[in-house]
Amino acid sequence: MNRKNLAVLCSVLALNICTVVPALAQISTAKITGGVVEGVVKDGIASFKGIPFAAPPVGDLRWRSPQPVKPWQGVRKADEFAPGPMQDTAFGAMLGGPQKISEDCLYLNVWTGAKKPGEKRPVMVWIYGGGFGIGMTSTPTYDGANLAKKGVVLVSVAYRLGPMGFLAHPELSKESGKGSGAYGIQDQIAGLKWVRENIARFGGNPSNVTIFGESAGGMSVGMLVTSPMARGFFQRAISESGGAMGTLGMTLTTAEEQGKAYLSKLGANDIKAARALSAETIQKDTKGMGSFRPVADGETIVENPYETFEAGKFSDTPILVGTNSNEGGLFVTQITTSASFEKMIRNSYGASAEDILKAYPHDMEAEATRSAKDIMRESTFAWSTWAWAKMQSTKGKNKAFVYYFDHRTPASPDGADHAAEISYVFGNLGGMGGGNGPEDKALSEQISSYWINFAKKGDPNGPGLPVWLAFDGKEQKTMIFDRTPGARPHPNIEQIKAFDAYFAKTREQSKAKK
């Protein structure tokens, strides 16, 4: 080869190096608490799956606060999800996720597009839902690559569920010196502590962390906002179909008695015997969602979150909260007659029954059936979300932004089902009842942009997006996501106010009993 040809070859190689090397300059390994992890780089995004953030909560660590992670030697491959928490695996099958579950479940995942540590990208920490009894980070809809492509570092955190995460017992309360029954929430806080200590190595900013979750995950966000243990670990909060204002329906004493009865059924008369049982035995009599829920243990959760907000003792961060139009459709499936609807309301709501009946049409069977579903929407999700936004806008210094997701598809002509918005937020369309057509893609781009903007600066607004007005005590504008997204009055405000009056009476009755 002559000198001229050699010079040309060198120039070509130099050009290729200049263009290729920056594209390959990706964070693929990170030294974190416990050791070094190696992730997988694909399409400009590095994913790290199955990173331990606490010691396995097994044996003597069952029903204890999460303990420090056990160090490892060498480089740990972080290329696949860890098993999900103990639960009914039918949930994972329904959502297309892996069927692996284990009591050893305290792992998290990271997606980042950062080229080097120290980029200080906004961080979003996802908390899955499932009624505190089911759920896992490996659900395909929760894949964080698309959000990471839009400039954030996405983290998803696992937490203990069911009796493993929320069993209360007098012996456990004595062990802690406080209370028991909030281990799953403590897991979430341990995950946030890990983020604060390690996320800079993935290009994230530990001083700009947004927690977000849906359903039980959204309720968890509400509890974290009011938890003294979580203070300072995040700067923004998003709750999708969650809120925690009416979540705690059981006192610690009642929950302890329930825990004793549950273990007694399994043949364990004390905690030592219960810790000797297999995880499968502990799990076998659990009835899925809602059997065990977080308890005010006096440390993680000090009191009912509504009381914490009323007293102004919450983390005052910007919030973005909302609900879907057909939340109750997933849970209330039977036909309801006018007579049975009235009977249900009178049996359930006592002195407030007449006001609630006035707020919900029910003269015809179709109306009664629709209203039965909508009662679920308001009582479980919408009132709690609205009350949280109202508290933030009146008690806090930071803004509240409220949405109502009403995107209808051929699969959901009656409105957006519970969890339907998640696939639009993550940009993983086609999952959880969502569509995958041009309209869906446009809506997903819009919604994910709002969420990303909020994570960056505490305000969802940005170029090319319809203006999202902050919620206040007077106008209470809501961003409606339908065929023509825009800020308008909440469509269910009269029903929400009926429940606001009911819950106010319930709180007064509780105070009178103390």
pLDDT value for 514 = 62
Identify which of 386, 41, 335 has the alpha carbon closest to the alpha carbon of residue 222: 386
Compute how many other C-beta atoms are within 10 angstroms of the C-beta atom of residue 386. 28
Read off the amino acid at residue 161.
L
Q: Express the helix, strand and coil content of the chain in percent, nearest 5 each.
A: 40, 15, 40
- As a whole number, mean pLDDT of residues 97-115 equals 93
Q: Is 418 a catalytic residue?
A: yes
Provide φ and ψ at 502, rounded to 5°: -65, -50
- As a whole number, mean pLDDT of residues 465-475 equals 91
Identify which of 302, 324, 330 has the alpha carbon closest to the alpha carbon of residue 490: 324
pLDDT value for 88 = 87
Residue 478 pLDDT greater than 60, yes or no: yes
Q: What is the separation, in whole angstroms, between the first and last Cα of the chain?
A: 94
Provide φ and ψ at 214, rounded to 5°: -125, 140
Cα 34 to Cα 377: distance, rounded to the nearest angstrom: 43
The two structure tokens encoding residue 7: 């010079």
* pLDDT-wise least confident of 25-39, 110-124, 247-261, 453-467: 247-261
Query: Percent of the chain beyond pLDDT 90?
Result: 83
Cα 434 to Cα 430: distance, rounded to the nearest angstrom: 5
- Give the DSSP letter of residue 360: S
Give yes or no for a contact between 104 and 66, defined as CB atoms under 8 angstroms apart.
no
Identify which of 389, 226, 239 has the alpha carbon closest to the alpha carbon of residue 313: 226
Could you tell me the strand order of the sheet in which 107-112 lies? 40-42, 45-52, 107-112, 153-157, 121-127, 204-214, 236-240, 319-324, 400-405, 477-481, 486-489
Query: Percent of the chain beyond pLDDT 70?
Result: 92
Cα 37 to Cα 55: distance, rounded to the nearest angstrom: 16
* β-bridge pairing 75-77 and 35-38: parallel
Q: Which of 418, 423, 444, 490 is catalytic?
A: 418
Cα 461 to Cα 453: distance, rounded to the nearest angstrom: 7
Domains of the chain: 27-317 (3.40.50.1820), 318-416+454-514 (no CATH)
* β-bridge pairing 204-214 and 121-127: parallel
pLDDT value for 510 = 75
How far is the CA of 37 from the CAs of 52, 176, 277, in angstroms? 10, 33, 33
Q: Is 215 a catalytic residue?
A: yes
The number of CA neighbours under 13 Å toward the Cβ of 396 is: 23
pLDDT tens per residue across span 211-241: 999 999 999 999 999 999 999 999 999 999 9
Provide φ and ψ at 236, rounded to 5°: -145, 160
Distance of CA 224 to the CA centre of its chain: 11
Instruction: Check residues 289 and 43 and name the one with the higher pLDDT.
Output: 43
- As a whole number, mean pLDDT of residues 407-431 equals 93
Identify which of 36, 137, 27, 32 has the alpha carbon closest to the alpha carbon of residue 77: 36
Identify which of 476, 243, 496 has the alpha carbon closest to the alpha carbon of residue 356: 496
How far is the CA of 174 from the CAs of 57, 64, 178, 379, in angstroms? 19, 12, 7, 34
Q: Which of 138, 176, 180, 215 is catalytic?
A: 215
- CA-based Rg of the chain, rounded to a whole angstrom? 24
Residue 10 pLDDT greater than 90, yes or no: no
* β-bridge pairing 486-489 and 477-481: antiparallel
pLDDT tens per residue across span 245-300: 876 668 999 999 999 999 999 999 999 999 999 999 999 877 666 689 999 999 99
Compute how many other C-beta atoms are within 10 angstroms of the C-beta atom of residue 396. 18
Residue 74 pLDDT greater than 50, yes or no: yes
Q: Work out the pLDDT band at 440, boundaries 50, 70, 90.
A: very high
Give yes or no for a contact between 302 and 179, defined as CB atoms under 8 angstroms apart.
no
Cα 258 to Cα 358: distance, rounded to the nearest angstrom: 37
Per-residue 3-state assignment (H helix, E strand, C coil) for 16-36: HHHHHHHHHCCCCEEEECCEE
Q: Which of 256, 327, 378, 421 is catalytic?
A: 327
- Give the DSSP letter of residue 465: S
Identify which of 386, 406, 405 has the alpha carbon closest to the alpha carbon of residue 472: 386
| Cβ density class 313-341: b for 16+ within 10 Å, e for less | ebbebbbbbbbbbbbbbbebeeebebebb
pLDDT value for 433 = 67
Q: Is 391 exposed, middle or buried (0-12, 13-18, 19+ CB in 10 A)?
A: buried
Residue 508 pLDDT greater than 80, yes or no: yes
